[in-house]
A and B are shown apart, each in its own frame.
Chain A
Amino acid sequence: MILTALSAKTNADTENTGVRTRLLGSHNDWFVPGLYKNELRRTWSAGLLFAIILFFALPVMNLMVFSNRENSFENHPEYVLDYLRSFFSTANPFITVYACLGGMFCAMVVAEYLYDRRKTNFICSLPVKRQAYLLTKAAANLTWSVLAWVPSIVLMLLVALLTGTMRPHTGLVIGGCFVLMASWFCLHLYFFGLTLLACSFCGTGAMGGCMLLMLGGYIPVTVLSLLGLADMTFSNINTSYYLSEEFFSSISGVFRIFARIAYMKSFWFLLGCAALGLLLAAAAVWLTVIRRSEKAGTPFAFDRVRDIVKYLLMGLAALLGGMLFEAMSSGGWSFIWMLFGCICGAVLCWMLCNTIFYKTPKMMFEGKRGMVILTVCLMLFSGLSRFDILGLDNYIPSTVMTNRIELQNRDMPLTIRDKSLVRMFNAMAKNGQTLYEKYGPAATYRYPTDKYMYDYENWSTEEIPQMIDIGCTVWKTNYLVPIAKNIDMLYSDWVKFVGALTAREDFADVYFEAAFDALERAERAMPDSTYYARVYHNARLAQSKGLDANGNLTAAQLRHVLEVYREEMRAMGADAMQQMYSGTFYFHLDNDYFEFPMYAAYDGVADAIREVFNGSAMDYTNYSYEKNFVRAEVYYRGRVIGSLTEAELTALVAEGAISGQYNTYDTPLTLVEPDYAVEVQYRVTETETYYYAVDYEGKGIAYETVGNSSGDVSTSEYDEHVSAAFFWGCVPAEFQQ
């Protein structure tokens, strides 16, 4: 039988010649189509899992929300629109979490063969390049990840089209689906690349997971520990800034992504994530190619990485050990205890790492020399920080170390690098011309000059005007002059710049607050004390008065007020726009914070509110300003393409941009950036800018954001019909899409 079978053996060599040519032509160094198809067949279950998750998280969740809102005021089209905008945007937190977990899962599935010696041997014996195998497998995996979206997207679109639940905003749903998917894909790539890199360093899944934790969290945790140590050992270090989200976002990509769940994710941010993910994946592929096959099943694929990780962990353990014992001890021996903790942490970590990395306690004491050197270095570091040998623990910034002073304002940040200002500031601090105080749990020293704002005689001291002169000159040169040139504006003096001068050392923030009007000061060169008094007075007046309705109004009452508001806003004509700005109406609704500008013409709103507040009147007349229209320019993607008359502007604002809908500060930014902007300049220090974007279907304007650069009146409105139609007529034909 055997012989029969073998004698009938085909002439494989001859027969396969043609096949060889065909198949070899399809193999290459980076991708193997046959393997791709095979992987797709083998991993369909992962695709199904993803599809199920998305099914529950997208269409089911969506419909559940809508069904819960039935017969509720939240089912109002505006609320629906707002909900959909949040849901179908990068601000949807589910997308970040799903991208994170999904990306990690996919990378681990792709890299799992690196952990199994048998499988690694099998794969590496195949006639496929290592990078081709990895990339083909990754491609198959990504394919399922993407395809898993299809059922959910189709379902949501069907629901939108057939049930009418989302009918008014079908365009948004359709576009939003793809925005959602694109943002997921970018984040998915990032986490995929990061995890793949971690996996390619290691030879076991558990160690790959640990490596991922280390790549994502080692730096923040170490920095946090260093800050803790600094807090413990230094008296004057201000760690508050470094404990901020902003700081950790700057040192940790993973932290940044999660920190931004609730905030905007811009197109460029997501694109950056995708690019970084690809870069990390490329590095992982390279590591996979150069790593030795025999390292499968061992904790680390590279001995050098193993040593680096060991020493990094030892450093962190020493820091934590030192801090622990420092915290537990007190009195004069605390430093000795800190050193003891430092040594204990380093040595224990060293023994533990050796045991885990070499998979035997016999190797616990491997690399004694490195351990001793590192421990000595850590002790020296502790000594340096403890005794402040480098003189870092100084609340008065040294001129040498202070590299910049920041002139701060909400909208006009400015950095001054003038050393004379630094010197002067230091001199003032040392001469006791400013006060300092320690506040808060952290050792932050603040130099308040607020008292000079009350006691303005002190402004006549020689240094302050000089400082302000410098600040004003720089400010004027860098900020005001370009503005003045461009818009030919005149500043009235009702509002003044209220800012802070911040001298930032390496570890210390020192605030120096002042209130002054830079433009007026620079233009008039009037450093007299009465001037500053007036500045202060006016600056205080500039604080918006408002009515905070939080907790006072029910949702139904708010809706009533909003209806009235809407009607009055629509009815407000060009004349009414010039009425006094009378205040701001604040409230929370549906977990969002809203802020509506109030005008004197809003009698109905005032009445409605008054009624709600049992007749207690609102005082709208404490301060006001005139909105003297100067000009309104239309920008298309940054270029001026036309202008609006006051009447057109009023109509636009009244009927379109401010169509009575509420606004929210938590508006997510979708991938679609505004295409058009209308910048309106009033003869006050206020510029209002209205943003418009072409909608996803290309029919017109999808939404508008009305912002205000001065921050005094900030509205954000959306409308896709009225204002779109109006505005469309303003855009030259060549710019219309």
Chain B
Amino acid sequence: MNEQYTPFTGEISIKNVTKTFGRVRSLDNVTATIRQGSIFGLIGSNGAGKSTLLRIMAGIYRPDTGSVSYDGEDIWENTARKQDIVYLSDDQFFFTHGTIEDMANYYRQMYINWSDEKYERLRAVFNLETDRKISTFSKGMQKQASVLLALSCCPKYLLCDETFDGLDPVMRQFVKRLLAEEVADGTMTPVIASHNMRELEDICDHIGLLHKGGILFDREVDAMKTSIHKVQMVLPGEEPDLGSFRTPEGKSLHVVSYKKSGSVLNLILRGEREEAEAAVKAKNPVFYELIPLTLEEIFICEMEEKGYDFNSIIG
């Protein structure tokens, strides 16, 4: 029975997914939604369940409970839905004596969206020898080959598991730019799993934090960055009351952390930038500066607020 292909419209919806390997519960009641047109970063320490979640999303593993659907249809053994999803493993498989050309032939038979033109162009850009055995490539070159092949499949969702590991900094940026271009064109949504938050910071616009099989956190990066601010300020008088950071309109801002170093106060305030600036100005500081937080700092704050020791989570 042939399955009908319907145009891409939807999102990947993960609902109450649990997955157990023997006695180890890798995913525990995970719920998340990955919408099109963004780059979704999945971070977590080793063993947090990132790869497992990606594999379930790719239809490799079947969840013990819960479901993963794409565009409203279960992904498991759904060949039509899987046409739009390409999974890039951290240790991608290639045929033992296969060349890039061999693999391209294989993918060509499998993925109906395969674009020869795109393949040819990317091949030229990556500058890889397509008639050389992939097994003789370095790890970084193998990663490049896997990205080349995956992008040539023109997937709607590209599931990348530690894809940037092994790439040199130049190539890493290059691949990120490729992904960003695809997203900008609205043709692909990469889901990137990594334990390195700094790597995801400059590319992801949505982040999910996995810890011990559960999603602790699932937010838009922009929203996170605009809702929390680091302030360095010097006040003329005594230390301020931490509950007294208010906007001129009287809205109280939450002080996430507070540290004094000499006369300099280091604060992290939750609220919009304008609100934070207004609240700081209201204290008539001798000097003040709003510094953008790194993603890692934001997560530390968020996790500490929730009672987790972030360093132990990310390791």
Contact = CB atoms under 8 A, between A and B. Distances in A.
Contact of B118 (A12, A25, A29): A12
Interface stretch (B36-44, B74-82, B196-204, B256-264): B74-82
A125 B82 contact: yes
Interface in B67-121: 77, 79-80, 82-83, 85-87, 89, 91-93, 95, 102, 105-106, 108-115, 117-118, 121
B313 interface: no
Contact of B77 (A20, A23, A28, A130): A130
A10 B108 CA distance: 16
Nearest to A24: B5
B181 interface: yes
A9 B121 contact: yes
A27 to B, nearest CB: 7
Interface residues of A, number: 44
Contacts of B110: 34-35, 126-128
B124 interface: yes
A540 interface: no
A2 B147 CA distance: 14
A37 B177 contact: no
Interface stretch (A93-101, A116-124, A141-149, A318-326): A116-124
Q: Which of A1, A2, A41, A125 has the most CB of B within 10 A?
A: A125
B112 A24 contact: yes
Contacts of B85: 125
A27 B79 contact: yes
A15 B1 CA distance: 25
Given A293-B61, A294-B61, A121 B55 contact: yes
B92 A24 contact: no
Contact of A294 (B3, B4, B21, B187): B21
Nearest to A28: B2
Contacts of A545: none
B206 interface: no
B115 A29 contact: no
B122 interface: yes
Contact of B2 (A1, A24, A38, A122): A24
Contacts of A10: 115, 117-118
B83 to A, nearest CB: 5
Contacts of A1: 125
A42 interface: yes
B154 interface: yes
Interface in A80-131: 116, 118-122, 124-130
Contact of B105 (A15, A38, A129): A38
B174 interface: yes
Interface string A32-46: 101101100110000
A122 B3 contact: no
B21 A25 contact: no
A20 B5 contact: yes
B132 to A, nearest CB: 17
B213 interface: no
Given A37-B109, A294-B21, A121 B121 contact: no
Given A37-B109, A121-B60, A122-B92, A127 B79 contact: yes
A129 B78 CA distance: 8
B176 to A, nearest CB: 11
A8 interface: yes
A116 B62 CA distance: 18
Contacts of B282: none
A556 interface: no
A128 B113 contact: no
A127 B89 contact: no
B155 to A, nearest CB: 10
A389 interface: no
A5 interface: yes
A19 B115 CA distance: 10
A8 B121 contact: yes
B185 interface: yes
Q: Which of A12, A35, A292 has the most CB of B within 10 A?
A: A12
Nearest to A289: B77
B223 interface: no
A15 B87 CA distance: 23
Contact of B60 (A19, A21, A42, A124): A124
A293 B60 contact: yes
B59 A124 contact: yes
B111 A127 contact: yes
B178 interface: yes
Given A13-B187, A24-B3, A127 B60 contact: no
A12 B113 contact: yes
A162 interface: no
B228 interface: no
Nearest to B60: A124
Contacts of A125: 55, 58-60, 82, 85-87
A29 B91 CA distance: 28
Interface in B22-58: 55, 58
Contact of B125 (A2, A20, A41, A294): A2
Contacts of B117: 9-10
A519 B302 CA distance: 103
A733 interface: no
A118 B95 contact: no
A16 B112 contact: yes
Contacts of B91: 118
Question: Which 8 A-B residue pairings sit nearest by Cβ, starting from the closest?
Answer: A34-B109, A122-B93, A127-B82, A125-B87, A124-B60, A5-B121, A23-B112, A118-B93
Interface of B: 1-5, 21, 55, 58-62, 77, 79-80, 82-83, 85-87, 89, 91-93, 95, 102, 105-106, 108-115, 117-118, 121-122, 124-125, 154, 174, 177-178, 181, 185, 187
21 contacts: A3-B181, A16-B112, A16-B115, A20-B113, A27-B3, A27-B79, A35-B110, A37-B109, A118-B92, A121-B60, A122-B89, A122-B93, A124-B58, A124-B59, A125-B85, A126-B110, A127-B80, A127-B83, A127-B111, A294-B21, A294-B61
Given A20-B113, A293-B62, 16 more contacts: A1-B125, A2-B181, A6-B181, A9-B118, A19-B112, A23-B112, A24-B3, A24-B80, A25-B2, A27-B2, A28-B2, A32-B109, A121-B55, A124-B59, A125-B58, A128-B110
